[in-house]
Structure 1
Amino acid sequence: MGDVRRRGAVVLGITGLVAPLTLALGATPAAAASCTAKTGPYQKQVEKFLGRPVDGKQSAADCKAIKAFQTKHGISPNAGYAGPVTWGVMDLMQKQKAVGNNPNKDGKCPVNKGRIACVNLSLQLSWIQDGKKLVYGPVPVRTGRDGYETRTGLKKIYWRNIDHVSSIYDVPMPYAQFFDGGQAFHSVGVSMWNPPGSHGCVNMTKTDAKKYWSLLKKNDDVFVYGRKPGT
């Protein structure tokens, strides 16, 4: 019990610094911006993604659709411009969808560990598998941005706190499951595609974080691999 208490104190100290930063990006709505008439470098790709007529020319309707997408996912400025950040989010969504129900097709997440939580940074996807059997997912996640990358490698869940709150900044981290220092699975109230990412934690929707909480336990394995776009 003493050891657990000490470990908990260390984790609280670490996450007190990490957690607020994890949530800070995207914690406020994208700055309000007027709609732009400018045609962006990814105009055709964005038009196709949004189901708009693909003519490569910005229109008021195009801008309205792009702006709505940007606002939903916390992309700033949300001026309706078809730029690289907006297209990057859309492109990632398409790649995630293409994975289907076989996220470990490349076999990179170990299948000899029994139940394990896998995190593919390159595709910003996570899932739980048991051997070769898919247990849950894949689901979109939001991992560490450039300079604060979620660390790769084989790890274990060593501490769990369903109602974790940063002791320093009073920032909630619901359904927190820590696997590497202050880095943990936990739910957030922002879009999983909100750029540029967290400050190390693996952010999840509340639904997915709750499911991970119910399926995983202390000492379960976690394997993180790949590289988040933009890092």
Structure 2
Amino acid sequence: MNRTFYRAGLRALPRARAAAAVVAAGFALIALTPAVAAADAKPDRSNLCPHRPGRVVCVDQDHQRMWVQKGSRIVFEPVLIRTGYRGMWTPNGTFHVYARHEWPASPLLPYSQFFHRHYALHGSRDDLHKGKSKGCVNMSVADARRLWKTLEIGDTVYIWGHKPGT
């Protein structure tokens, strides 16, 4: 074996381990981010979302998560969302889906489901941890596509709380 190559490999080993540790620490931080942890958590029994016979989209702005329930049964597991910021709040209250536009290739509003004026539940191609919503409820495009298959015109949207830090 070439001694120079062997020595260079030994010197590179600590750097590779350090790089791996940095990557692992980054993933650990992402996993511990409150919004991500909240999206993975099941809604607790004290959740504020009403239990009705039809589908209800539950938007918890305090924890930046959304799910759909029918009665007390969850039919769409909690997902990470991004809601409006100060001055561009996502409105709280009870609404109903009044228009749906699939637009899968849209750069801005894929799988839009409008519930109040110009506010919609829709996909976003941006990082949900960064950027801002102008009041709509943003989620990943994959989650928006699944939600599109779950909801219909007339389904209830119930929103409460405020985005943390705003």
What is the TM-score normalised by the length of structure 1? 0.56
Q: Tell me the SS of whatever aligns to 1:172.
A: coil
Q: What do residues 140-167 of structure 1 show as CA deviations (whole Å, max 9, x unaligned)?
A: 01111121111000000011111189xx
Which protein has the bigger strand share? 2
Partner in structure 1 of residue 61 of structure 2: 121
Say if 2:135 is the partner of 1:192.
no
Structure exhibiting the larger radius of gyration computed from Cα positions? 2
Confirm or deny: 8 A CA contact 1:157 1:178 kept in the other structure. yes
RMSD: 2.8
Q: 1:164 to 1:91 in 2, by over 3 A?
A: closer
Unpaired runs of 5+ residues, structure 2, are: 1-17
Over 4 Å off, 4+ runs: none
AA in 2 matched with 1:114? G
Confirm or deny: 8 A CA contact 1:163 1:172 kept in the other structure. no
Confirm or deny: 8 A CA contact 2:107 2:125 kept in the other structure. no
Structure 2 CA distance for aligned equivalents of residues 132 and 175 of structure 1:
26
Confirm or deny: 8 A CA contact 1:174 1:186 kept in the other structure. yes
Please, which of 135, 140, 144 is the counterpart of residue 205 of structure 1? Answer: 140
Confirm or deny: 8 A CA contact 1:113 1:221 kept in the other structure. no
Q: 1:214 to 1:94 in 2, by over 3 A?
A: closer
Structure 2 CA distance for aligned equivalents of residues 90 and 150 of structure 1:
22
Confirm or deny: 8 A CA contact 2:122 2:138 kept in the other structure. yes
AA in 2 matched with 1:155? F
Q: Tell me the SS of whatever aligns to 1:178.
A: strand
Number of aligned positions between the proteins = 147
Please, which of 91, 105, 110 is the counterpart of residue 151 of structure 1? Answer: 91
Unpaired runs of 5+ residues, structure 1, are: 1-59, 70-85
Q: Tell me the SS of whatever aligns to 2:103.
A: strand
Q: 1:113 to 1:155 in 2, by over 3 A?
A: farther
